[in-house]
């Protein structure tokens, strides 16, 4: 059972008893009108045995007894025990004042007789709690000062802001801390004023440093604008020339497409005329055959007229069949000749397309091989940065890619490079293009953490211009590629803004001053959907020309099929002559 529980249990027992005694005192004083008589708790007589006035001892004859108050005695007993527990540190001061408040309310609250006692102990509780509050608030500020002194709080700014936060929390709107709140406001204002003055001095110093560079910067900007203007005008001139040339080529291509269409129409008409002529001749031969059959019957009966007409029909029939065969033979010859000429033209076009494709393949392969060689040079230039195994693996991978492109590097050559790795660790090989490509690759694939407004100038620059901040490890790689001295590991950058700024300055001097994302909306605003990479002299068709070209391709097959037309079947036409 806790001390507080014991107090509560005792109060439940004592309070009813004290109430009875109080009522008894009032009753005796009222009925008997005994002044100065104070009954004892242990010797209080029952109402049935109340002494009569005649038996009451005379105050003048008998020594006055010492007055006692059971409520005060009970309170003092518990109060002294509470004090003892506080002095022995059995309970905290906070627990002590909570218990004293409960004790004061239990014995003295709402009793006019004990108003002075109640007020005295109520003031003790109030002042005690006020003292505890003061000590608590002071401990907060002391702990803050200790943390700052021990280095747990890194900057004075953080310390001052936390001190101001505590002042607003504990002093503001607290009538007991008006002076402290006023002092805290003055200190906060003074510190902010000092910070503003210090910032102004820094800005002034920065302005002085920039002033010396301003003239050169203006000159560089002017030169850059002039160069950009020349580049833009040159680009416009080249674009204009290419556009005119493409339009002229499109004009010639369109003429060729129309000519092909006209030739195709002529070929179709010629074929139709031929088929009509064949049909007509075949019909005439069929009529002669029918008439001949009729005359044969009359000729067999000896009809001389029929015999003469039959002979004439046989001669005409023979000539008709001969004309038909000649026409078919000539037509087939013309078709084969025309087909061969068309095939020759088509083959020329196909071969030209193959030649262009081979040129493109060669240029692509050449570019890839150049990149791989640049990569190999870059690897060798940074040989000292790799272990023997890493360098060997990387070199073998490049050699494998070169072999897939048709370039085989001998094992002895690769072996000599591997053996010389340590010897060329400090030898610089000119591979500026490869270095720039490597730097751009790092900048465009940053893996650093974005600290927002707290980011370093280098991290903010790479984030804003290339999409994401680079990590410290990536920054070390960039420093080595740019030959920035004094930066060899991540530890050289940790908490070192000076070295980070050295890398940033080197990047800008190397020409990495402009970065960012391509704004595809610029293309959309011109009414186009995208950009196309073309080679000098390549023809470009419009949408309409493309449709005509597709139609031409679709008609090539029917045109070729003309040479495969079968000869009309005339097996039913017999060449019968009179015997």
Residue 57 lies in a domain: no
Token reading at 149: 């002194």
* Distance from C-alpha of 73 to C-alpha of 83, rounded to nearest angstrom: 15
Same domain, yes or no, for 27 and 137?
yes
Q: Three-state DSSP class for 414?
A: helix
Residues 446/474, Cβ–Cβ less than 8 Å? yes
Counted domains in the chain: 3
Residue 237 lies in a domain: yes
Same domain, yes or no, for 349 and 392?
no
Same domain, yes or no, for 345 and 468?
no
Domain end, chosen from 365, 394, 421, is at 365
Same domain, yes or no, for 207 and 318?
yes
Same domain, yes or no, for 356 and 399?
no
Residues 512/443, Cβ–Cβ less than 8 Å? yes
- pLDDT reported for residue 299: 83
Residues 45/28, Cβ–Cβ less than 8 Å? no
* Distance from C-alpha of 439 to C-alpha of 445, rounded to nearest angstrom: 10
Same domain, yes or no, for 296 and 399?
no
Buried b (16+ CB within 10 A) or exposed e, 440-460: eebbeebebeeeeeebbebbb
DSSP code of residue 424: G
* Distance from C-alpha of 438 to C-alpha of 472, rounded to nearest angstrom: 16
- pLDDT reported for residue 572: 52
- pLDDT reported for residue 131: 92
Same domain, yes or no, for 227 and 357?
yes
- pLDDT reported for residue 47: 37
Residue 159 lies in a domain: no
Query: Does the predicted TM-score (pTM) go above 0.85?
Result: no
Q: State the sign of the Cα–Cα–Cα–Cα dihedral 245, 247, 251, 253.
A: positive
Closest CA to 294 of 311, 318, 310: 310
Residue 78 lies in a domain: yes
Residue 540 lies in a domain: no
Residues 39/69, Cβ–Cβ less than 8 Å? no
- pLDDT reported for residue 510: 80
Domain end, chosen from 501, 525, 549, is at 525
Residues 413/380, Cβ–Cβ less than 8 Å? no
Same domain, yes or no, for 411 and 490?
yes
Listed in sequence order, the DSSP H helices in 32-108 are: 70-87, 93-108
Closest CA to 163 of 142, 194, 193, 182: 142
Residue 133 lies in a domain: yes
* Distance from C-alpha of 455 to C-alpha of 504, rounded to nearest angstrom: 13
- pLDDT reported for residue 63: 46
Same domain, yes or no, for 303 and 416?
no
Token reading at 427: 């030898």
Closest CA to 552 of 540, 353, 251, 560: 560
Range of the domain at 438: 386-525
Token reading at 244: 């005119």
- pLDDT reported for residue 528: 55
DSSP labels, 458-520 = HHHHHHHHHSSPPPHHHHHHHHHHTT-TT--SGGGTTT-HHHHHHHHHHHHHTT--------T
Question: Residue 181 CB: number of other CB atoms within 10 A?
Answer: 18
Residue 59 lies in a domain: no
Backbone angles phi, psi at 35, to 5 degrees: -85, 135
- pLDDT reported for residue 206: 81
172: Cα within 13 Å, side-chain hemisphere: 9
Same domain, yes or no, for 197 and 254?
yes
pLDDT by 10-residue block (mean), the chain, 579 residues = 56 53 47 40 39 42 64 94 94 94 94 93 94 91 92 91 92 86 92 89 82 65 72 84 90 88 88 91 89 83 86 90 91 89 86 87 84 79 72 86 84 82 50 72 90 91 91 92 91 92 88 53 50 57 65 60 50 45
Domain end, chosen from 365, 397, 417, is at 365
Question: What is the phi-psi region of residue 487: left when phi exceeds 0, alpha when psi lies from -120 to 50, beta otherwise?
Answer: beta
Same domain, yes or no, for 200 and 302?
yes
* Distance from C-alpha of 496 to C-alpha of 479, rounded to nearest angstrom: 14
Same domain, yes or no, for 196 and 341?
yes
Residue 501 lies in a domain: yes
* Distance from C-alpha of 475 to C-alpha of 443, rounded to nearest angstrom: 9
* Distance from C-alpha of 435 to C-alpha of 512, rounded to nearest angstrom: 12
3-state SS of 274-324 is HHHHHHHHHHHHHHHHHHHHHHHHHHHCCCHHHHHHHHHHHHHHHHHHHHH
């Amino acid at each position: 059972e806790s001390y507080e529980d014991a107090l509560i249990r005792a109060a439940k027992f004592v309070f009813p008893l004290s109430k009875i005694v109080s009522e008894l005192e009032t009753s005796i004083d009222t009925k008997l009108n005994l002044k100065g008589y104070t009954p004892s708790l242990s010797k209080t007589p029952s109402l049935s045995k109340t002494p009569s006035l005649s038996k009451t001892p005379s105050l003048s004859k008998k020594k006055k007894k010492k007055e006692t108050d059971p409520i005060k005695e009970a309170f003092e007993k518990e109060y002294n025990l509470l004090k003892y527990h506080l002095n022995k540190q059995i309970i905290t001061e906070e627990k002590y004042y909570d218990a004293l408040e409960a004790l004061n309310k239990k014995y003295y609250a709402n009793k006019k007789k004990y108003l002075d006692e109640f007020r005295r102990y109520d003031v003790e509780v109030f002042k005690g709690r006020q003292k505890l509050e003061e000590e608590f608030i002071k401990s907060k500020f002391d702990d803050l000062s200790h943390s700052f002194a021990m280095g747990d709080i890194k900057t004075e700014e953080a310390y001052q802001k936390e001190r101001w936060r505590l002042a607003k929390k504990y002093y503001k709107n607290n009538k007991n801390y008006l002076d402290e709140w006023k002092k805290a406001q003055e200190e906060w204002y003074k510190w902010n004023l000092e910070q503003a003055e210090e910032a102004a001095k820094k800005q002034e110093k920065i302005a002085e440093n920039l002033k010396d560079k301003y003239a050169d910067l203006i000159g560089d900007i002017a030169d850059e604008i002039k160069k950009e203007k020349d580049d833009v005008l040159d680009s416009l001139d080249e674009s204009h020339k290419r556009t005119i040339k493409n339009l002229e080529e499109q004009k010639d291509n369109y003429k060729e497409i129309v000519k092909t269409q006209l030739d195709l129409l002529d070929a179709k008409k010629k074929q139709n005329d031929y088929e009509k002529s064949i049909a007509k001749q075949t019909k005439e031969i069929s009529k002669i055959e029918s008439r001949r059959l009729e005359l044969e019957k009359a000729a067999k009966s000896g009809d001389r007229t029929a015999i003469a007409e039959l002979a004439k029909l046989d001669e005409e029939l023979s000539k008709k069949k001969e004309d038909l065969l000649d026409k078919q033979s000539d037509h087939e010859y013309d078709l084969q000749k025309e087909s061969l000429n068309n095939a020759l033209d088509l083959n020329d076009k196909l071969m030209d397309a193959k030649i262009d494709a081979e040129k493109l393949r060669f240029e692509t392969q050449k570019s890839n091989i150049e990149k791989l060689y640049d990569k190999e040079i870059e690897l060798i230039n940074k040989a000292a940065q790799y272990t023997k195994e890493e360098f060997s693996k990387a070199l073998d991978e490049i050699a494998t890619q070169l072999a897939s492109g048709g370039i085989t590097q001998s094992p002895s050559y690769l072996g000599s490079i591997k053996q010389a790795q340590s010897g060329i660790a400090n030898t610089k090989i000119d591979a500026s293009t490869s270095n720039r490509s490597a730097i751009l690759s790092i900048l465009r694939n940053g893996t650093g953490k974005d600290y927002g407004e707290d980011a370093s100038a280098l991290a903010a620059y790479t984030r804003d211009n290339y999409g994401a901040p680079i990590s410290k490890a990536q920054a070390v790689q960039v420093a080595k590629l740019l030959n920035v001295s004094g930066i060899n590991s991540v530890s050289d950058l940790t908490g070192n803004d000076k070295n980070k700024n050295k890398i940033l300055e080197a990047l800008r001097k190397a020409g990495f001053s402009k970065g960012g994302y391509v704004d595809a909306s610029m293309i959309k605003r011109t009414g186009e959907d995208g950009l196309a990479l073309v080679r000098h002299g390549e023809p470009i068709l419009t949408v309409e020309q493309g449709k005509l070209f597709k139609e031409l391709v679709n008609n090539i097959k029917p045109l070729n099929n003309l040479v495969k037309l079968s000869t009309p079947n005339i097996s039913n036409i017999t060449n019968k002559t009179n015997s």
